[in-house]
Structure 1
Amino acid sequence: MNKKLILLLILVGIKTRLLACDVCNIFEFKTVDQKNYIGVFYHYMSFNGYSHLNQEHRMFSRSPQMHELDGSNLFFEKKQQDFEKYSTLALRTNLNLFKNFRLNVLLPYERTVVYYNKVWSTVDPVSDTTMTLSGLGDAIVGIDKNIRFTTDQFTHYLIPGLSLKLPTGITNIKDNAGEVFDPEIQPGTGTLDLLLRLNHTMTNGKWGLFSASSYKINSTHNNYRFANSFNFQSDVFLVLGNPKKQFIPQAGFYMESAGKNIDEGNSIDFTGGTTVFFDSGMELRINNSISFQLSAQLPVYDQRNNTQIGNAGRLNVGLVKIM
């Protein structure tokens, strides 16, 4: 074996699979009063820096050189410059049905950019590499039950829900050598998955508390299975202004957790873990019909299995027509 390759294998230790956002279940839009809406949302997730190497994490990292190596059997030495970016542009609608039931539909388009600064492949010398994938993601269709009740001076909206993630996304994007990229970075998963959801909003019209939880049960595609995952979010919000123009700031935390993915019956050490984010944002609502939302999530606790690249932060933007 080439001495250079032996040295690099010692530095890396193992062929490392790429980390996708396999614990992100569903982003919850909060309308406070639970009205119908249709909207466009943009979600950005950034990963960079290795905690075990005491490297810093940055929400926005530099644009990569667009150089791709042939072949999927890549080894890399972990560097501060490495990053993974996941972007989602989604069309979403929630419609009230009979007896306080709601239909919710989410149609996403995914784009992933993965960059490693120092990479070895069997056909090229040590170099940087960039992998860019984009395409339709997995659609989500679900039914919610809107249960409204009052206690003292507060109105409560308790919303249990059941959703299906459909195998509508692209799963077979290939590299320059004609090999299919790992499932973790494909736009779709190829699986029919179940989402159990429970949201609760408590408000007196001036302030309130919003909480959302979800548990995702995944199935198997091509002998690959993403681990089941759990998400929880809780935010306090204030309602400022008047009915024609409202400004609603919010702050709280968001947590996501998952086990290890399974490939052909074997667990993948470089997947899964638990991350807690500080969550803050705002909603600007005009004439109770147009809403603009912006929120950011920064990690305060990041426990990831093995030596995965770290969470750097999330950004969520939404423009909504309330009906």
Structure 2
Amino acid sequence: MRLAAPVLAVAAVAFAPLAAACSSCGCTLSTDWSAQGYGAGQGFTMDLRFDYFDQDQLRSGRHRVDRGGIALPAGQEIQLRTINRNTTLTLDYSPRPEWGLTFVLPYFDRYHSTVPAGETDVSQSHSKSIGDLRLIGRYQGFGDGHSNVGVQVGLKFPTGSFGERFSSGTEAGEIIDRGLQPGTGTTDLLLGIYHHQALDRDWDYFGQAMLQLPLNMRDQFRPGAGLNLSTGVRYASFERVVPHVQINARIEARESGSNSDRPNSGATLVYLSPGASFAVSKRLSVYGFGQVPIYQRVNGLALEPRYSVSVGLRYAM
């Protein structure tokens, strides 16, 4: 898909906010490349993306945990399920081809059920709220015309709620775990680097790394620092349809603070993400991706999904 329309560089990746290992699936997917391709352009671009993933598999270390073998009441919380239906709006402005600014705002629709420590009854919550706003600047004036290297610097602002509560069960009225809240309450520094290049007339590839560093503690909670790594290839010889495949990884440190769940936080997660984009017109593209785990290592007990689905549209103005 090489349409003569303004295109958005890799820096406009719509990073879904991360809230510990329990909700990191889908966060590393690079949908800017899937929708438009890497290239220098200028102007406004809008991306609207929906992610669905059902975290119903309890894991410890690199292995699945059989809940049937856990006698209740247990000495620790036994999570049952977390269903995520998340929407992310990304707005990008490039006054010049070599630099630009990206605004990312997520909205979370998250159902969670768990059996608290020492209990036998299920407690439930259902949060619907905006998450933490990201503002990311980029410069991509490197390269030789056949490749493109760029850097990213940004901040995540504490716009999301971190006071959501259980709605039923023995924990009704109590605040849910900070790792499950729409926002972390902290301001985070974002630092990234990316590179993409045409391998030949038909094939392109990209590589990207983004580091997220919390700058403060809020209400006795500091999320773990995280590193996102992504690489992928695409086949661009078809007129409108562009197949893609990515490998996405997330490495996250443990939470800290008296309101953290430090023993059950932190993870290393790797996903395989096949998908495709379709050029509806010179300005409008739609895309879809599936994502399956190929490596999972979590600390303590954590819920992870068996797969995730992402769909979206991108419009270049």
**Does the residue aligned with 2:161 lie in a helix, a strand or coil?**
coil
Shift of 1:311: 3.8
Give the superposition deviation at 1:23. 8.5
Any conservation in 2 of the 1:23–1:231 contact (CA below 8 Å)?
A: no
| Compared CA separation, residues 206 and 84, structure 1 to 2 (3 A) | same
Which amino acid in 2 is paired with 1:185? L
Q: Contact 1:146 / 1:159 at 8 angstroms: preserved in 2?
A: yes
Q: Does 1:37 align with 2:45?
A: yes
Letter in 2 for 1:171: F
Give distance in 1, aligned partners of 2:274 and 2:231: 10
Task: State which of 43, 50, 55 in structure 1 corresponds to 2:58.
Answer: 50
Shift in Å, 1:282? 0.8
Return closer, same or farther for 1:310/1:98 CA change in 2, 3 Å cut-off.
Answer: closer
Amino acid at match of 2:56: N
State the Cα deviation string for residues 186-217 of structure 1 (Å, max 9, x = none).
11111111111112221255210022210000
Which residue in 1 is equivalent to 2:90?
92
2:238 to 220, 238, 241: 241
Check the 8 A contact 1:23/1:272 in 2, yes or no.
no
For structure 2, the 5+ residue unaligned runs are 1-19, 67-74
The two structures have a TM-score, normalised by structure 2, of 0.78
1:159 to 113, 138, 150: 150
2:161 to 139, 163, 170: 170
Structure 1: which amino acid aligns with 2:294?
Answer: V
> RMSD in angstroms over aligned alpha carbons?
2.8
> Residue deviations 1:211-243, cap 9 Å, x none?
22100001311110001001111111001333x
Q: Which residue of 2 aligns with 1:111?
A: 109
Find out whether 1:182 has 2:139 as its counterpart: no
Tell me how far apart the structure 2 counterparts of residues 25 and 215 of structure 1 sit (CA, whole Å): 13
Name the SS of the counterpart of 1:184 in structure 2. Answer: helix
For 1:173, what is the secondary structure of its paired residue?
A: coil
Q: 1:222 is aligned with what amino acid?
A: D
TM-aligned CA distance change 1:49 to 1:293, over 3 Å: same
Structure 1 CA distance for aligned equivalents of residues 204 and 192 of structure 2: 20
Whether 2:225 is the aligned partner of 1:231: answer no
**Pairwise CA distance, 1:149:** 3.1
Match for 2:242: what amino acid? I
The one-letter amino acid of 2:282's match is N
Secondary structure of the residue that 2:179 maps to in structure 1?
A: helix
Amino acid paired to 2:125 = M
Amino acid at match of 1:169: G
Q: Deviations over 1:162-201 (max 9, x none)?
A: 1111111112122344332221111111111111111222
Instruction: Quote the Cα distance in structure 2 between the aligned partners of 1:99 and 1:319.
Output: 22
Q: In structure 1, what is the Cα distance between the partners aligned to 2:126 and 2:92?
A: 32
Q: Which letter does structure 2 place at the counterpart of 1:135? A: S
The 1:172–1:265 alpha-carbon spacing in structure 2 relative to 1, beyond 3 Å, is: closer
Within the candidate set 268, 276, 280, 1:282 is matched to: 276
Amino acid aligned to 1:37: T
Percent identity over paired residues: 17
